[in-house]
Every structure is written in C-alpha cells, then in structure tokens.
Amino acid sequence: MLFLWAALPGICLLTALVRRTRPQNVLLLLISLLFYAWGDPDHLVLLLVMIAVNYLFGLALERAGTGAGSARPSGRGGRSDGESGKWREGSAAHPGAARAVLALAVLCNLGVLGVFKYADFVLGAADRILPGGFAGVGAGRLADRIAQGGTGILQPLGISFFTFQALTYVIDLYRGRVRAQKDPAKLALYLAFFPRILSGPIEPYSHAEAQLTARAVTRNGFAEGFRRFLYGLGKKAILSDLIAMSVDRIFAVPTQLNGLSAWLGSALYALQLYYDFSGYSDMAIGLGRMLGFTIPENFRYPYLSGSVTEFWRRWHITLGAFFRDYLYIPLGGSRRGKRRTICNLMVVFALTGLWHGAGWAFVLWGLWHGMFVSLERLGFRKFLDRHRVLGVIYTDLVWIVSMALFRTGSISEGARTLSCMFLPFLHRDAQPLIASYFSLQSLAAIVLGVSGCGVLQDSACQKQSRLSALRGKWIGSPAEAVYLALVFAVSVLLLAGNTYHAFIYARF
Amino acid sequence: MRNKTAKLYIALFVLLLVVPPLLWAVLKDPLRAALPDAADYENTALVQRPELHRQTLRSFPVDATKYYNANLPFRNQLLTLGGLTDYYVLHSTNTTSVLVGRDGWLFYRGNQANEEDPVADYKGTNLFSDRELAQIWMQMKSAQNLCEAMDRQFVVMAVPGKMRIYADEMPSSYGKPGDGRLYQVTTFLRDRGIPVVNPAETIMAYREEHPEEQLYRKYDTHWNRLGAYLAAQELDSALGHCDLPALDTVSREAAPQQIYDLARLMHLGQILIKDGPDGEQEPAGYADTEGLTREVSEDTTEYRYTNSHAGADPRSILLIGDSFAPIMTDYVASDFRKVTMEYYYVYTPDMLESLDPDVVVYEVNERYLMNLARFTLTDIMPVVQN
C-alpha cells in the first residue's frame, strides 16, 4: 500500500515534471536505487559495485575493438542473429584481449552470483563429496559453519535478474550487437530500473538501449500502462493471494497430506505461481509503459501449451530467451546431432533449475523438464502435435507434478508430496478435511483463475469468433475502465486486510 | 486506445491513487469523526513513527512500512468494509483463523504456528500417537505424584472447544464431529487413575434441554458465563463440594458487554457486539456472595479469591489454566474458602509453596491438549499458545 498510495503517485508526478530524457534517467535511477535500498538496504552497495564494474567492462570491451565498428545501430528486438541460429562474432581489433575481457566480465558477474546465491549449496555439496568432508581435509571451521546452516551470506534481492541483464550487456557488446554505454547513469538505470529489478522480466540490453536515449511519456502510453498495471495488481492481490490461502492450508500440516490433497495443492500452487509471477510481470510492464519504456512480455498463457517445449516458450519467456541466446545456441543448439542436442537441452534445463534456487531440488526440477523436452525432441512432439488436447493435459500434468519440488525447494519434502500423489495408499492415515481448505473467496479466485488462464483469451484472439468481437469492444472501453476500478478497490480491501503474500519470484 | 478512454484512465489514476491519501492527509481528523468505526481498536498507535538517522538506516524501510500500514488512510474503514462484506454478503472470510458457520456463528480455526488445529480436533483426525500419549501420561503422573507426596489432590480439566459444543452451527461441509483428542485423552488418563473433568457431556445435555440458551459466545472462542457456570458445577462436584444450584433454577442478569475475539479478527469488533438474543447474560443469586472477595493482578493473569462464607469448603484451590478459566473461577470460588487462578504461562513452582493449595487443577482447552505433554509443576512451562 505504501507503494500504491505514496510512492507511485510521487514517481509519476516527478517524471511528469522532469520530461527531458537525460535528467529523467538520473531521476529514475535515484528512485530505483531508493526502491532497491528500501527492500534490501544491505546490498545496495553490491548493486552499485556491479553497475560500476560492468560499466568499466563495457568500456574495456569497446577499447579492445569488439565489433564496435560493425555494430548495427541499436534498436529494439535485436535478436535476428539468434533467430538465424548463427552469431555474428565481433570484428575485434584485439580479439584475444576482447575475449579475455569478456571472460573476466562473465566470470565476475557469475562469481558474484555464485558467492551470494550458491556459496552454501556448493560448499555443502563439496563437504559431502570430500572424503570426511571439510573436517577431513583440515577445514574444521568451515565444516562447523556448514553444519550450523551455512556461511550466513544473505542473497541480495533480484540478484539473478540484474546479473543476467549485466551478462546480456557484456556479451552483446562482445558480439558487436550494441555499443558500449558511455553514460553511466543510463547503464545504471538499465540494470537497476525499479519495475523489473526484483522479478524481471529479464530485458536484454539490446532491447533497452534505444529507450535509455529517447522515449516519450504520452497520455495514451500512460493510460495503457496504468490499465496493464491494474490487471497485474488484480492478478496478484486478488487471484494469487486468495488462492495462496488455500494452498497454505493444504500444505500446512505435511502429515495430513493424502493423494487428493497433494494433487489439489500442487495444482493450486501452479495456479498461484502463475498469477503471482505474471501479475508481477504485468505490473512491471505497465509501470514501464507509464514511464515511457517498453518492457518485453514474459507470459503467453503457458497453461494452454501443447507440449513442455511450447510451455517454456510461453512461461517466463525472457528467461527462456536468455538461456536460448546465451547458452543453448553457443553450446551448439540443435546443429550438432541428436545426442549433443539432448545433452545441450539437459544442461540448459539443469541451469534453469539452478537459476531458480540453490539446491538439488531445483536442479532436479529443471532436469525433469529437460527430460520431457528431450523426449519431445526425439519424436514425441509429433504425437503431441496431432493430439492437441492430450498435449495440453500432459504438459499441465508435467508442470503440476514438478510443483511438488518447486514449492518447498527441498527434495525430502518434495518426495513426500510426490509419494502422496503417486502412492496414495501409503497415506491412508491422513484424513484431511478438504472443505476446510477453502473459503468462498478462495473458491471464487480459483474459478476465476482457471477460467482466466488462457482458454477464454485464446478463443477471443481467434479471428471471426464471437468472443473476438467482444474482446475488440471491451479493450479500451469505459466499461473495462470501470471494471478495473473495481479490481483496484477489491485489491486495496484485501491488501489492507493483510492477505498479501510476498512475490514468489523475488526470492530467486 | 482512444483519447477519451486515455483521459478516463488518467482520471482513474488520480481518483484511485492520488485522491485518497491526499484527502486523508488534509482532512484526517474531520474524516475520522465523520466516518463510522474509526476507533483504533487494533492498537495501531503502538507502532512508533521511525526516525531516520545513521543508526536506523537499515531498519528504517521496514519500520516506515509498518508505520505507514498501521496508519494507512481509511484503514479502519477499509478493514470494516472488508469484514462486513465477508460476514454479511459472502458468509465466509479470508481471515485465516476464523470460520463463518451457520446463522452467523464464528469459529476459531486456529493458528498453525501454535500447533493448534481445531478442525482436526473436531473431526478427530489428529488423535495422539502412542508416543504422545506416553509423554502426556509421564507429565501428568509426575504432577500427580508430586501433589500426593505433599498430600494434595491433582485434577485435570479438559475444556471442550466451541466447534464440538456447537457442531450444529458448523458449515455442513465440515460434517459431524469425531470423538477426537478430547475423549481420547479423557479416557486414557481416567483409565490410569488421573482424575479428568470433562464438562462436554453436561454442557451438551443442557443445550439440548434448553436450546433457547446460549452457552458459548457466538462471536468469540470462549464459553459465556452460563457455559462457565455449568463447567464450574462439574469441577466442584468432582472435587466433592458443589453448592451451586442447577443453572435452570437460577435467575439471569445482564453482564457487561464484551468485545469478542473472533469478531475482532474479522475487524468487526465494534459491529458484532450483541451476543445472543438478550446480549451478555450471567447467573444471579446462585450463592451468597457476601464475604467473597476477588483480587486481580494488573496484567490480569492472576485472580485471587477468598470466601469467608461459613458453608464454603475449607480447602484451597490452585487453578492453573488458560483463557477459559477466569470466568469459570468466579463460580468455583463461591464453593471454596480460597481459590487462586494463574495463567499457565505465568505459573512458577514457588507458587505451589507460597499458596500451599489442597487441590491443584490444571485446566486446558481442547485445542491445546498437547500442552498436557509439556505441563509440569516443577518448572516454568514453555509458552506455546497466546
């Protein structure tokens, strides 16, 4: 509520007063840094250091001559090279030096991510692998710290998002797709822009570059952005948070979980996660639009996907695009035979899992998806293409099953939920009262959530359908505005009543 | 988007995001006076306005957010509107710990953080394991042995939850109550020689005979004074001295109005104030209360009664209990010379020496029966509830 009723009107007023792009960049940067410090004051310095380091890497890369001379004029989109499957390497004056700077930049960004996000995970794994653990090799203090719960290093908010954005900057610069950013405020704003720093979308620098130099806050853009923001707010505050109440009740007492409640809980968590994350993305995109930016889309009704491969093109689109453009294709993509393709896919999905959380449960979660994508690549996709409805059911089931691991981030707890789902006869002692998981409000949110996660919108997008005509009349109509005002009112009522759950993806 | 619609959205932005906080900032006091239910019944004034200086830099954002939320423009009105919509329109609530039953009855559905699960207690799906029963037995037997060594009597009192007594007011989807922990532990301890007072049957029998009378509060977790009176009768009878007349033979008088805990949880503490057709009632003229004095500690965790009435039982009672105990003790006290009620979380072993009671009663509510496995007279008990 502090953001809605104090920060947002203030930000809009200030940006309306400071209309020239350059001073507005500085203003938005200051706001973004304040926003970040508000959520995570301990790591503001780290963010500033990362901005400074990447700025210097950018200058060093340009000095090494990487593709600077042949870089296309910066523009939006900018992934045509990726679409063709071939990267145009930069025409570096000193290719060795450029490669070294790039390696250093990537190492530095991934190193920071590794230390702040994965230190405990890596050390814990090493402790288990080493004979006798760290104690066995004379590192008793380290072994003690691991035994006591880890290094105590706290994960900075949004680190996975701003680090990946920084990587797109240095890699694209090396590839000659963009020029080095000379204005530190612009680069800082790109990395720290407040609508997307906590949970994305992950915007490649090539997409953002032009907007940092020239953009306009227009009446229509502001109105469209606010409209999108209200949809996102409703998704989060009404649907996701109300569904979360049922999910929390279902999983509150693990010993009371049986087959039915485990399936129900995982399915509802899938719904909660979708509305939580896509709600956040809508708000980020909407806020960006209100301030003159175009932030890339992150969702396209993923639960309508006919295959797991398609799912990952519709869910967290910008993360999928990042892994495709900066990992899968450089690894050789699908160009080096089936075996290598499968291997590449498994690497990409293992890392996708690891990106979500530092734990084996997330790696398994990623590999689970990688396995199905690989199966589809080996021919299963043809069957799914012929049986679309079956494909949707199969895809959603694969996703729902994976939620057992994703929700807790723990293999043992996930295994317990999976055991309830697949071996329900082992959990007959548990007799949960299903009715007690729901209130009328959460039931209504579930019904609205299920009907709103794509089927209606998809048929409304079909040309010449009756819904399509309705959709045309609805979007931008005064009736829609009144509806969104009601959505806002209900959201405020719920937020004031403390039903708010923190954004799930902010912890990644 | 057409220009007209764009203008409409900009107007909405101003109306929804700018006007409310601005209006509140400028006209806070007149608005508070004009709008209903602006009372600060949630102690939001306790949230201090944070000061920004070097030492508070790290904590400032969290403190400032808390302060803003506590002083949110139109906060009480929003909460009350939400509660009214939930209660009167939807007959359901998204307040995690409250359940709206039939005819507007409210039930406490528990706070999972406190190991409590009244719904599972009601359905009987969380029966104690053999290991838990053994732990309960060990703690109760230790308490009984300690009391007997000092020539004292030890009694357990298990208070039935509201869902069990008013099962007919529960939503039909919750089905009928199972026997649950209440009967499991009652039978288990009684079979092993620990006296247990369980007034569930008495209260339900009275309800059946007098359906017009309310024994638990409609908008609160607890029994009312009539229910407490029946429980006191049961306890006093178990202790071998009950002069309290049958409840249907004593008159009633109006008791002070309360703010009910479940109504408060739904932000309707100032709205749902009439509990029962005649409001809050209490038994009157049930005993000669001349000579009965009551002292309550400042923090209302200790109640001390002395009764100089000639007919009073000369034994002294120490009742260690929870929030169900205070109003029941009012009636227990009319039968005994000296009664002390201590909340279980303020009880200390030295009280046993200083008060030197003849009888020690440990009262526990159905949803906290797990406390039996932790209860001890020789140490301070770990706090799990309230």
Tens-digit pLDDT profile for residues B170-191:
998 888 999 899 999 999 999 9
Which residues 181-240 on chain A approach chain B with CB closer than 8 angstroms?
219-220, 222-224, 226-227
Indicate if the pLDDT at residue A76 is higher than 60: no
Q: B230 forms bridges with which residues in the sheet?
A: none
Q: For residues B300-314, b (16+ Cβ closer than 10 Å) or e, as one string?
A: eebbbbbbebeebbe
Residue B19 pLDDT: 93
Cis peptide before B61 (omega within 30 of 0): no
A225 in the same domain as A188 = no
CA A354/CA A372 separation, integer angstroms: 17
Residue A485 pLDDT: 95
Confidence of residue B41 (pLDDT cuts 50, 70, 90): low
A53 belongs to a structural domain: yes
Indicate if the pLDDT at residue B167 is higher than 90: yes
Q: Is A41 within 8 Å of chain B by CB?
A: yes
Query: Model confidence over B82-117: pLDDT tens digits?
Result: 889 999 998 888 888 899 999 999 999 887 656 788
Q: Cβ separation of B112 and A42 shorter than 8 Å?
A: no
Residue A182 pLDDT: 92
CA A502/CA A500 separation, integer angstroms: 7
Q: Is B316 helix (H, G, I), strand (E, B) or coil?
A: strand
| Mean pLDDT of the residues in chain A | 87
Q: Is A429 within 8 Å of chain B by CB?
A: no
Q: Which of A182, A215, A248 is the last residue of a domain?
A: A215
Q: What is the DSSP letter of A5?
A: I
Q: Give the angle subtended at the CA of A124 by the CAs of A118 and A129, to the nearest 5°.
A: 125
A8 belongs to a structural domain: no
A342 in the same domain as A315 = yes
CB B99 within 8 A of CB B105: no
CB A416 within 8 A of CB A257: yes
Residue A506 pLDDT: 62
CB A160 within 8 A of CB A41: no
- What mean pLDDT is predicted for residues A247-251? 90
Nearest-neighbour CA in chain A from B177: distance (Å): 12
Residue A84 pLDDT: 40
Residue B386 pLDDT: 42
Nearest Cα neighbor of A43 from A157, A151, A150, A152 is: A157
A412 in the same domain as A276 = yes
Nearest to A41 among B57, B109, B173 (CB): B57
> Would you name the residues of A annotated as active-site residues?
356
Confidence of residue A453 (pLDDT cuts 50, 70, 90): confident
Query: Model confidence over A324-348: pLDDT tens digits?
Result: 999 999 998 888 888 999 999 999 9
CA B230/CA B288 separation, integer angstroms: 18
Nearest to A253 among B64, B68, B117 (CB): B117
The better pLDDT of the pair A285, A39 is held by: A285
**How far does Cα A419 stand from its chain's mean position?**
29
CA A354/CA B210 separation, integer angstroms: 64
CB contacts of A222 in chain B (<8 Å) are 6, 9-10, 13
A12 belongs to a structural domain: no
Query: Model confidence over A395-433: pLDDT tens digits?
Result: 999 999 999 999 988 899 999 999 999 999 988 887 788
Residue A77 pLDDT: 40
Q: Cβ separation of B92 and A441 shorter than 8 Å?
A: yes
Secondary structure element (H or E) that encloses residue B363, with its range: strand B359-365
Which residues 118-137 on chain A approach chain B with CB closer than 8 angstroms?
none
Q: Which one of A13, A218, A226, A487 makes the best mutation probe of the B interface by having the most chain B beta carbons within 10 Å?
A: A226
A453 in the same domain as A329 = yes
Residue A94 pLDDT: 73
Residue A244 pLDDT: 93
Indicate if the pLDDT at residue B13 is higher than 90: yes
Q: Is A260 within 8 Å of chain B by CB?
A: no
Nearest Cα neighbor of A62 from A93, A100, A104, A88 is: A93
Q: Which residue of B has its CA nearest to A490?
A: B82
Residue B38 pLDDT: 46
Q: Which one of B17, B93, B116 makes the best mutation probe of the A interface by having the most chain A beta carbons within 10 Å?
A: B17
Residue B113 pLDDT: 59
Q: CA separation (Å) from A289 to A30, A233, A279, A283, A488?
A: 19, 15, 15, 10, 19
Query: Model confidence over A342-384: pLDDT tens digits?
Result: 999 999 999 999 999 888 999 999 999 999 999 999 999 999 9
A224 in the same domain as A196 = no
The better pLDDT of the pair B165, B92 is held by: B165
Nearest-neighbour CA in chain A from B267: distance (Å): 9
Residue B44 pLDDT: 55
CB B263 within 8 A of CB B106: yes
Reading the block at residue A143, the tokens are 């072994």
Domain count, chain A: 2
Q: Cβ separation of B175 and A433 shorter than 8 Å?
A: yes
A90 belongs to a structural domain: yes
Q: Cβ separation of B18 and A441 shorter than 8 Å?
A: no
Residue A73 pLDDT: 43
The better pLDDT of the pair B23, A146 is held by: B23
CB A310 within 8 A of CB A384: no
Confidence of residue B304 (pLDDT cuts 50, 70, 90): very high
CA A11/CA B17 separation, integer angstroms: 12
A14 belongs to a structural domain: no
CB contacts of A478 in chain B (<8 Å) are 5, 8
CA A140/CA A148 separation, integer angstroms: 12
Categorise residue B215: left if φ over 0, alpha if ψ from -120 to 50, beta otherwise: alpha
A330 in the same domain as A185 = no
Q: Cβ separation of A223 and B9 shorter than 8 Å?
A: yes
Q: Which of A173, A188, A215 is the last residue of a domain?
A: A215
Q: Which residue of B has its CA nearest to A473?
A: B1
CA A41/CA A48 separation, integer angstroms: 12
A201 in the same domain as A321 = no
Q: Cβ separation of B94 and A256 shorter than 8 Å?
A: no
Q: Which of A191, A215, A239 is the last residue of a domain?
A: A215
CA A304/CA A395 separation, integer angstroms: 9
Residue B288 pLDDT: 81
A476 in the same domain as A374 = yes
The better pLDDT of the pair A2, A222 is held by: A222
- What mean pLDDT is predicted for residues B4-9? 90
A328 in the same domain as A309 = yes
| Mean pLDDT of the residues in chain B | 89
Residue A255 pLDDT: 80
Q: Is A496 within 8 Å of chain B by CB?
A: yes
Q: Residue B120 burial by CB count (10 A; 0-12/13-18/19+): exposed, middle or buried?
A: buried
Q: Which one of A433, A484, A500 makes the best mutation probe of the B interface by having the most chain B beta carbons within 10 Å?
A: A433
Nearest-neighbour CA in chain B from A187: distance (Å): 26
Neighbours of A1 (CB within 10 A): 19
A246 in the same domain as A210 = no
Neighbours of A217 (CB within 10 A): 17
Q: What proportion of chain A, given as a percentage, has pLDDT over 90?
A: 61
Q: Of the given ranges (A222-236, B195-209, B264-278), which has the lowest mean pLDDT?
A: B264-278
Nearest to A431 among B79, B125, B174 (CB): B125
Q: Of the given ranges (A48-62, A132-146, B240-254), which has the lowest mean pLDDT?
A: A132-146
Indicate if the pLDDT at residue B348 is higher than 60: yes
> Going by DSSP bridges, is the β-strand pair B313-321/B336-343 parallel, antiparallel, or unpaired?
parallel
Query: Long-range contact list for A80-89, CB < 8 A, 24+ apart?
Result: A81/A175, A81/A177, A82/A324, A82/A325, A82/A329, A85/A329, A85/A333, A85/A335, A87/A175, A87/A329, A87/A330, A88/A175, A88/A176, A88/A177, A89/A175, A89/A176
- What mean pLDDT is predicted for residues B301-305? 92
A169 in the same domain as A68 = yes
Q: Cβ separation of B12 and A485 shorter than 8 Å?
A: yes
Q: Cβ separation of A496 and B75 shorter than 8 Å?
A: yes
A346 belongs to a structural domain: yes
Confidence of residue A92 (pLDDT cuts 50, 70, 90): low
Q: Which residue of A has its CA nearest to B76?
A: A496
Q: Which residue of A has its CA nearest to B266?
A: A497
> Residue A441 belongs to what domain range?
220-507
Q: What is the DSSP letter of A490?
A: H
Residue B114 pLDDT: 62
> Going by DSSP bridges, is the β-strand pair B251-254/B281-284 parallel, antiparallel, or unpaired?
antiparallel
CB contacts of B65 in chain A (<8 Å) are 2, 38
Could you tell me which residues come within 8 angstroms of residue A29 by beta carbon, excluding any fewer than 6 positions away? A185, A188, A189, A192
A496 belongs to a structural domain: yes
The better pLDDT of the pair A23, B55 is held by: A23
Nearest to B81 among A39, A441, A493 (CB): A493
CB A86 within 8 A of CB A109: no
Q: Is A499 within 8 Å of chain B by CB?
A: yes
Query: Model confidence over A98-119: pLDDT tens digits?
Result: 899 999 999 999 999 999 988 8
Q: Which residue of B has its CA nearest to A498?
A: B95
Confidence of residue B326 (pLDDT cuts 50, 70, 90): very high
Indicate if the pLDDT at residue A228 is higher than 90: yes
Q: Which residue of A has its CA nearest to B85?
A: A493
> Going by DSSP bridges, is the β-strand pair B292-296/B281-284 parallel, antiparallel, or unpaired?
unpaired
Residue A40 pLDDT: 87
Nearest-neighbour CA in chain A from B198: distance (Å): 26
- What mean pLDDT is predicted for residues B295-319? 91
Nearest-neighbour CA in chain B from A165: distance (Å): 26
CB A32 within 8 A of CB A194: yes
Nearest to B72 among A1, A253, A433 (CB): A1
3-state secondary structure string across A84-119: HCCCCCCCCCCHHHHHHHHHHHHHHHHHHHHHHHHH
Residue B226 pLDDT: 94
Rounded to a whole number, what is the distance in angstroms from the first to the last CA of chain B?
A: 55
- What mean pLDDT is predicted for residues A171-191? 93
CA A32/CA A196 separation, integer angstroms: 10
A142 in the same domain as A166 = yes
A15 belongs to a structural domain: no
CB contacts of A34 in chain B (<8 Å) are none
CA A77/CA A160 separation, integer angstroms: 22
Q: Cβ separation of B93 and A38 shorter than 8 Å?
A: no
Reading the block at residue B375, the tokens are 């209860």
Q: For residues B228-249, b (16+ Cβ closer than 10 Å) or e, as one string?
A: bbbbbbbbbebbeebebeebee
CA A418/CA A420 separation, integer angstroms: 5
